[in-house]
């Protein structure tokens, strides 16, 4: 009893326990975490409009918003969730209760507009410049006229309820991030065709992230990677999704087009010479401001861009004979300008009436954001603005990008693997305990040894949770090495100590020093063997190297000294 | 080659014995007993000697015949080098690369029924006559848990491959029912180069650390030689059992560099840096600890090999298992032999 008390008073043991505590706080285990966690919110979906926010890849798993009920029916699994939102009708209100808030979503209609073979007439108001003689001199005045035009008749077909736009997954129980191997998902390795300098590469990455955001995929890791030969790679990891489309989107060079009446007016990057990002010419439109419409708030943003001469001329030609429509006291041309990203329409903007037929290079682009509150609408508007600005500045990606490796990992396999890995880990520990016990036949040795091994793994996992590492197969291999070296080093410590006992070396410091002189060299060889992997092979084995290096460091500097101290106290005669 | 080696060995030991006869320490005891056998010139006589020695215990052989025992690890190393050279000259490559190092596609399908792997392979090969398709079963504790298909086909043919597998197994897989890994062939080749380079750099770094910590050229070289032999022999055995190496497999060789030298470091520290007891006592002491280290690891590896269902972990574990077994020979015969020869000479020089 006295000895056990002494063990817990030892500084090294106390340090170890502090680290274990910190690690547990970081891991934040909660086996009772309910519901399903929100991964992505599709932009402009009803969930997005109701104010549910998309997550970013950096957010800690336990801090993610979790859905715990849909229409007051508790949600326990992903299946429950899909059942809950399964048969929705357009216009119905869905109550989504999360651990943070309750949202009321209005289910949107899924519609499609088709042109019929008939035509209808429409009255439009237009402003026409007319030459008039006033007081004997010829001047141009704008005259408002109403005119009747013939347009093709359209019909809107209802396709049922639109998806509410949430992507969910099983709520995590800890802050440990599972890598793709373990949770399923898609990993794409891309390579720019020509080598880029650092700013261009950053720009490219920013551009790709923006594009993924356009698709509502914010929970995607996009990062630079390199190798020992100086090749550049871009690694994209999309957990949970298996969308071919997204994969293609990343590698597409990306063309941004603005079209009026199906004619291309300008192309992103090439035709746009300047995009204003400063406060005086971009931001919430001071004239239009924010307004309420029904339940929701709308805020308008605007920013100015400069077009090249040729693009300005094209715009003048395209708008020369458009009608002017009046709406909410503002005058627009009868055709909108449609913005396309890789042939997918991302926005439709009204063209101010004053732009008709003029070859201006300075034009203003506007749009809006929606939200439940004024503030939220403003934030959304600014976010949409930033996205559009990015697309307009970057336009196409600076170089062609090749997909050189894709892995898509089935979530079923991943889940099985985690269970399997736990079983294997436990069995391996058990067998090691048996072997060690057979050799030393002393519980005073076996127990601290196992506690040390387990605490090393716990501290390592805590580290991983803080540092945002993904725990994948490679990292598990790293943990195996850590535990392996841990047992080895503790055997060295034990043997040196016991040998000192039999040889009557009374200086305990000497015995421990002897053990650590071996351990330190062994430790250094393991660490330096892992260093090249930090840089090699597009960083795909970086996780393995990092886990191993950190794990053995924790072991050698925190846990194993504590083991030595405990052994010293328990075995001292 | 073998003969040459033996001759060299005999020559060495002759020299040794002449040098060390006057020593009063335990080294002398060793050499004295050796005295009658050392001036052997002919193989025939050697054989007779061997028969006489049979009465000696293993410990005595280990103690006294360390120079002769050295032949074992060196012979294994030479055979390994020879088999790798042979492999390079026949296939142009020193390992069997899997798709992650060669380019191609790996399809993993969870499947818990027993199936005829070779029938599936024949069927798939008939569907893709121009390509190399291979099928493996994933087993977990003896029970089937899945199928892995490796094929050097392009990504465009993935759908065809999946539907062929579906027809053959009479199942529908769906989008999430399988994992697929596609590796561009250019990237495969560059990955291969990268990882090999990583292994070389790791080896160099390890050598530097060993040199700095021991500061004795012979001791350091012995540790480095042991690590080198571990890698080469493990590689040769992996080739022999037809293992197809992936990136993870090469990572396992890196593990081996850091991991297998641990016992060598233990041995060298105890034998060279420590002074208490006789050399043999120190060696036996180190061996008790070292074999304990290796046996806990080997037991854990065997458990993992039986129960894991991950191909990646299985490959890493297999390589580590081979490596650790090889390392036992390289530590307790090769490294011990070299250290004893070195200590013998050092002692002689000190006495002069």
Q: Count the Cβ atoms, other than its own, within 10 Å of residue A367.
A: 20
The CA distance from A234 to the nearest CA of chain B, in Å, is 13
Rounded CA-CA distance B301/B321 in Å is 7
- Angle between helices B217-240 and B185-214 in degrees, nearest 10: 150
Q: What average pLDDT does this structure show over B140-169?
A: 75
How many CB atoms within 10 Å of residue A303?
21
Q: Do B303 and A402 touch (CB under 8 A)?
A: no
More confident residue, B157 or A18: A18
- Min distance B169 CA to chain A CA atoms (Å): 18
pLDDT at residue A147 in the model: 63
| Nearest chain A CA: its distance from B272 CA (Å) | 12
Q: What is the per-residue pLDDT for A128? A: 61
Q: What separation in angstroms does the CA of B168 have from each of A565, B72, B188?
A: 61, 50, 29
pLDDT above 60: residue B49: no
- Nearest CA of chain A to the CA of B213: how many Å? 7
* Residue B223 belongs to some domain of the structure: yes
Contacts of A229 in chain B (CB under 8 A): 190, 193-194, 197
Least CA distance to B220: which residue of chain A?
A521
Both tokens of A152, joined, read 């093709």
Higher pLDDT pick, B335 / B193: B335
pLDDT for A489 equals: 92
The shortest CB-CB distance from B257 to any of A436, A491, A529 is to A529
- Checking if the pLDDT of B279 tops 50, the result is yes
Residues A399 and A182: beta-carbon distance below 8 Å = no
Residue B93 placed within a domain: no
Cβ–Cβ gap A228/B213 under 8 Å: no
pLDDT tens across B190-244, in order?
Answer: 778 888 888 889 889 999 999 998 888 888 999 999 999 999 999 999 999 988 8
Give CA separation, B154 vs A252, B126, B176, B246, in Å: 19, 17, 20, 18
Q: Tell if the CB–CB gap between B265 and A409 is shorter than 8 Å.
A: no
| Nearest by CB: B265 against A435, A499, A522 | A522
Q: Closest partner residue to A473 among B198, B255, B313, by Cβ?
A: B313
Q: Are the C-beta atoms of B238 and B319 separated by less than 8 Å?
A: yes
Same domain, B54 and B200: no
Asked if A492 is an interface residue toward chain B (Cβ–Cβ < 8 A), one would say: yes
Which residue in chain A is spatially nearest to B173 when comparing CA positions?
Answer: A410
Considering the domain architecture, whether residues B172 and B223 belong to the same structural domain is answered as no
Based on the fold, state whether residues B17 and B150 are members of the same structural domain.
no
* A-interface mutation test, from B303, B315, B317, B319, most A Cβ less than 10 A away: B303
If one compares A346 and B346, the residue with the highest pLDDT of the two is B346
Closest approach of B86 to chain A, Cα-based (Å) = 28
Count other Cβ atoms within 10 Å, centred on residue B94.
Answer: 15
Q: Residue A214's pLDDT is what?
A: 57
From the list A427, A477, A525, the residue facing B313 with the nearest CB is A477
Q: Which chain B residue has the Cα nearest residue A536?
A: B194
Residue B79 is predicted with a pLDDT of 95
**What mean pLDDT comes out for the span B144-154?**
77
Q: Do A405 and B187 touch (CB under 8 A)?
A: yes
Q: Going residue by residue through chain A, which has 573 residues, state the pLDDT in tens, using 9 for 90 and above.
A: 688 888 888 889 999 999 999 999 988 888 777 788 887 777 667 887 787 877 666 677 888 888 888 888 888 888 888 888 877 777 788 888 888 888 888 887 776 656 666 777 666 565 566 666 777 777 766 666 666 666 666 666 776 777 787 878 888 888 888 777 777 777 888 888 778 888 778 877 877 776 676 556 666 778 787 777 778 888 888 776 555 556 656 666 556 678 887 788 877 666 777 777 676 777 777 776 777 777 777 888 888 888 888 888 888 888 887 777 776 667 777 788 887 766 667 677 777 777 777 777 777 777 777 777 777 778 778 777 766 776 676 566 666 777 777 777 776 666 777 778 888 888 888 899 999 999 999 888 999 999 999 999 999 999 988 887 878 777 887 888 888 889 999 999 998 888 776 666 557 777 888 888 889 999 999 899 888 888 876 677 788 888 889 999 999 999 999 999 998 888 876
- The verdict on B157 touching A (C-beta cutoff 8 Å) is no
Using a CB–CB cutoff of 8 Å, tell me whether B169 touches chain A: no
Predicted confidence (pLDDT) at residue B326 exceeds the cutoff of 70: yes
- CB atoms A407 and B176 under 8 Å: no
Query: B169 and B196: one domain?
Result: no
Q: What is the CATH number of the domain that holds B132?
A: 3.30.70.260
- Structural domain contains residue B321: yes
- Domain spans in chain A, listed from the N-terminal domain onward: 2-29+417-571, 36-108+162-169, 113-157, 185-253+400-408, 256-394
Mutate to test the interface with B, among A78, A189, A240, A413 (most CBs of B within 10 A): A413
Considering the domain boundaries, does residue B171 fall inside one?
A: yes
Any B CB within 8 A of A141 CB: no
CB contact under 8 A, A525 and B265: yes
Among B252, B253, B280, B254, residue whose Cα is nearest residue B267: B280
> Residue B260 to residues A529, B77, B240: CA-CA distances in angstroms?
12, 16, 21
pLDDT at B22: 39
- The CATH number given to A2-29+417-571 is 1.20.1640.10
Q: Which of residues 332-361 of A touch B (CB under 8 A)?
A: none
Contact A522 B266 (CB under 8 A): yes
In this complex, is the C-beta atom of B198 within 8 Å of any C-beta atom belonging to chain A?
yes
What's the confidence (pLDDT) of residue B10? 42
**Domain-embedded: residue B92:** no
3-state secondary structure of A73: strand
Give contacts of A 406-435 with B, CB under 8 A.
406-413, 416-417, 420-421, 423-424, 427-429, 431-432, 434-435
- Shared-domain flag, residues B50 and B129: no
Q: How many structural domains are present in chain B?
A: 3
Same structural domain for residues B339 and B244?
yes
Is the per-residue pLDDT at B82 higher than 80?
Answer: yes
Is the alpha carbon torsion for B78, B80, B83, B84 positive or negative?
A: negative
Query: Do B44 and B141 belong to one domain?
Result: no
Q: Is the pLDDT of residue B331 over 80?
A: yes
The predicted pLDDT at position A477 comes to 79
Q: Are residues B154 and B286 in the same domain?
A: no
Å between B45 CA and nearest CA of chain A: 43
Which helix or strand (DSSP H or E) is residue A312 part of?
helix A309-319
Q: How far is B319 from chain A (nearest CA, A)?
A: 13
Surface of A (193-232) touching B: CB under 8 A = 227-229, 231
Instruction: Give phi and psi for B343, each to the nearest 5.
Output: -65, -35
- B43 or A228: which carries more pLDDT confidence? A228
- What does the pLDDT read at residue B8? 41
State whether B269 and A481 contact (CB < 8 Å).
Answer: no
Which residues of chain B from 81 to 140 reach within 8 Å of chain A, CB to CB?
Answer: 108, 110, 140
> Is B296 within the bounds of a domain?
yes
* Rounded-to-integer distance, Cα B182 and Cα B149, Å: 12
Give yes or no for A452 touching B (CB within 8 A): no
| Chain A residues with CB-CB distance to B177 below 8 A | 410, 412
As its CATH architecture, domain A185-253+400-408 has 2-Layer Sandwich (3.30)
Q: Is the pLDDT of residue B39 over 50?
A: no
Q: Which of B266, B192, B124, B322 is nearest to A229 (CA)?
A: B192
Q: Considering the domain boundaries, does residue B313 fall inside one?
A: yes
B164 and B202 share one domain: no
CATH number (domain holding residue B287): 1.20.1640.10
For residues B244 and B273, state if they share a domain.
yes
Of B183, B210, B225, which closes a domain? B183
> Which pLDDT value is given to residue B29?
42
Residues B123 and B234 in one domain: no
A36-108+162-169 CATH choice from 1.10.540.10, 3.40.50.2000, 3.40.50.300, 2.30.42.10: 2.30.42.10
Same domain, B155 and B211: no
The answer to the question of residue B311 being in a domain is yes
Helix axis angle for B336-351 and B2-20, nearest 10°, is 30
> Would you tell me which residues 33-92 of chain B have a C-beta closer than 8 angstroms to some C-beta of chain A?
none
Q: Among residues B21, B45, B68, which one ends one of the domains?
A: B68
Nearest chain B Cα to A189, which residue? B183
CA distance A241 to A255: 24
Q: Find the residue in B nearest to A436 (Cα).
A: B296
Option in A407, A417, A526 nearest B310 (CB): A417
- Which of B147, B159, B187, B245 best probes binding to A when mutated, by most A CB atoms within 10 angstroms? B187
What are the tens digits of pLDDT across the range B107-137?
A: 888 777 777 777 777 887 787 777 777 787 7
- pLDDT at residue A549, as a whole number: 92
* Local structure of A172: helix, strand or coil: coil
Rounded to whole angstroms, what are the CA distances from A481 to A131, A355, A489?
A: 87, 68, 12
Give the domain range for residue B162: 104-183
Strand partners, A338: A259, A348
């Amino acid at each position: 009893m006295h000895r056990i008390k002494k063990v817990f008073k030892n500084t090294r043991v106390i340090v170890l326990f502090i680290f274990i505590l910190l690690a547990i706080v970081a891991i934040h285990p909660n086996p009772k975490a309910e519901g399903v966690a929100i991964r992505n919110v599709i932009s402009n979906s009803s969930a997005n409009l109701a104010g549910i926010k998309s997550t970013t890849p950096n957010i800690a798993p336990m801090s993610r918003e979790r859905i715990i009920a849909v229409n007051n029916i508790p949600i326990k699994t992903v299946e429950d969730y899909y059942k809950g939102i399964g048969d929705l009708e357009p216009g119905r209100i869905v109550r989504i209760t999360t651990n943070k808030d309750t949202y009321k979503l209005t289910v949107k209609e899924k519609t499609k507009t088709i042109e019929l073979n008939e035509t209808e007439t429409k009255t439009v108001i237009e402003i026409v410049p007319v030459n008039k003689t006033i007081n004997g001199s010829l001047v141009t005045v704008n005259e408002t006229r109403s005119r009747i035009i013939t347009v093709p008749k359209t019909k809107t077909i209802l396709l049922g309820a639109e998806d509410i736009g949430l992507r969910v997954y099983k709520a995590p129980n800890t802050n440990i991030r599972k890598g793709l191997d373990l949770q399923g998902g898609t990993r794409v390795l891309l390579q720019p065709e020509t080598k880029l300098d650092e700013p261009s590469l950053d720009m490219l990455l920013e551009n790709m992230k923006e594009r993924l955001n356009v698709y509502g995929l914010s929970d995607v890791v996009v990062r630079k990677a390199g190798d020992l030969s100086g090749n550049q790679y871009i690694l994209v990891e999309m957990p949970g999704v298996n969308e071919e489309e997204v994969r293609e989107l990343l590698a597409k060079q990306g063309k941004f087009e603005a079209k009026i009446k199906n004619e291309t007016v300008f192309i992103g990057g090439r035709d746009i010479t300047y995009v204003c990002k400063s406060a005086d010419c971009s931001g919430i439109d001071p004239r239009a401001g924010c307004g309420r419409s029904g339940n929701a708030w709308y805020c308008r943003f605007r920013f100015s861009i400069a077009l090249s001469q040729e693009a300005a001329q094209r715009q003048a030609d395209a708008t020369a004979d458009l009608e002017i429509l009046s709406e909410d006291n503002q005058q627009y041309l009868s055709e909108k300008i449609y913005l396309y990203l890789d042939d997918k329409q991302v926005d439709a903007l009204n063209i101010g009436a004053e732009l008709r037929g003029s070859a201006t290079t300075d034009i203003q682009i506007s749009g809006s954001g929606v939200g439940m509150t004024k503030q939220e609408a403003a934030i959304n508007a600014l976010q949409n603005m930033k996205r559009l600005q990015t697309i307009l500045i970057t336009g196409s990606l600076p170089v062609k990008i090749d997909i050189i490796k894709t892995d898509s990992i089935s979530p079923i396999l991943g889940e099985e693997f985690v269970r399997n890995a736990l079983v294997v880990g436990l069995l391996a520990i058990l067998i090691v305990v048996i072997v060690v016990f057979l050799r030393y036949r002393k519980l005073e040795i076996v127990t601290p040894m196992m506690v040390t091994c387990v605490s090393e793994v716990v501290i390592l996992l805590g580290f991983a949770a803080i540092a945002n590492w993904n725990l994948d197969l490679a990292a598990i291999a790293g943990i195996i090495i850590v535990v392996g070296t841990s047992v080895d080093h503790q055997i060295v410590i034990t043997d040196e100590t016991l040998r000192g006992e039999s040889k009557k070396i009374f200086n305990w410091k000497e015995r421990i020093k002897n053990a650590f002189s071996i351990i330190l060299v062994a430790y250094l060889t393991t660490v330096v063997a892992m260093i090249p992997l930090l840089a090699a092979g597009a960083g795909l084995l970086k996780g393995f190297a990092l886990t191993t290096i950190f794990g053995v460091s924790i072991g050698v500097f925190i846990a194993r000294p504590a083991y030595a101290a405990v052994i010293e106290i328990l075995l001292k005669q | 080659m073998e003969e040459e080696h033996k001759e060299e060995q005999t020559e060495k030991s002759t020299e040794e014995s002449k040098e060390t006869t006057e020593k009063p320490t335990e080294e002398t005891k060793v050499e004295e007993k050796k005295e009658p056998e050392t001036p052997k010139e002919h193989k025939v006589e050697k054989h007779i000697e061997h028969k006489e020695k049979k009465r000696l215990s293993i410990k005595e052989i280990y103690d006294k015949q360390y120079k002769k025992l050295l032949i074992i690890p060196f012979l294994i190393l030479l055979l390994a080098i020879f088999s790798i050279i042979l492999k390079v000259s026949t296939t142009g490559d020193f390992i069997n690369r899997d798709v992650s190092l060669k380019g191609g596609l790996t399809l993993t399908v969870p499947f818990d029924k027993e199936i005829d792997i070779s029938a599936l392979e024949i069927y798939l090969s008939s569907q893709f006559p121009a390509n190399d398709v291979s099928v493996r079963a994933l087993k977990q504790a003896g029970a089937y848990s899945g199928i892995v298909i490796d094929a050097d086909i392009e990504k465009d043919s993935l759908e065809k491959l999946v539907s062929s597998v579906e027809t053959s197994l009479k199942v529908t897989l769906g989008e999430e029912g399988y994992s697929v890994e596609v590796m561009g062939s250019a990237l495969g080749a560059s990955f291969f180069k990268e990882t090999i380079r990583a292994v070389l750099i790791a080896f160099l770094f390890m050598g530097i650390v060993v040199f700095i910590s021991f500061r004795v050229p012979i001791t350091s070289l012995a540790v480095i030689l042991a690590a080198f032999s571990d890698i080469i022999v493990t590689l040769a055995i992996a080739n022999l059992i037809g293992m197809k190496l992936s990136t993870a497999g090469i990572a396992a060789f890196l593990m081996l560099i850091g991991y297998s030298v641990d016992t060598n470091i233990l041995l060298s520290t105890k034998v060279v840096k420590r002074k208490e007891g006789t050399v043999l006592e120190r060696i036996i002491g180190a061996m008790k600890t070292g074999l304990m280290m290796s046996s806990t690891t080997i037991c854990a590896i065997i458990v993992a090999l039986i129960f894991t269902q991950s191909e990646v972990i299985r490959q890493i574990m297999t390589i580590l298992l081979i490596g650790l077994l090889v390392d036992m020979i390289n530590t307790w015969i090769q490294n011990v032999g070299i250290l004893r020869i070195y200590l013998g000479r050092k002692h002689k020089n000190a006495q002069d």
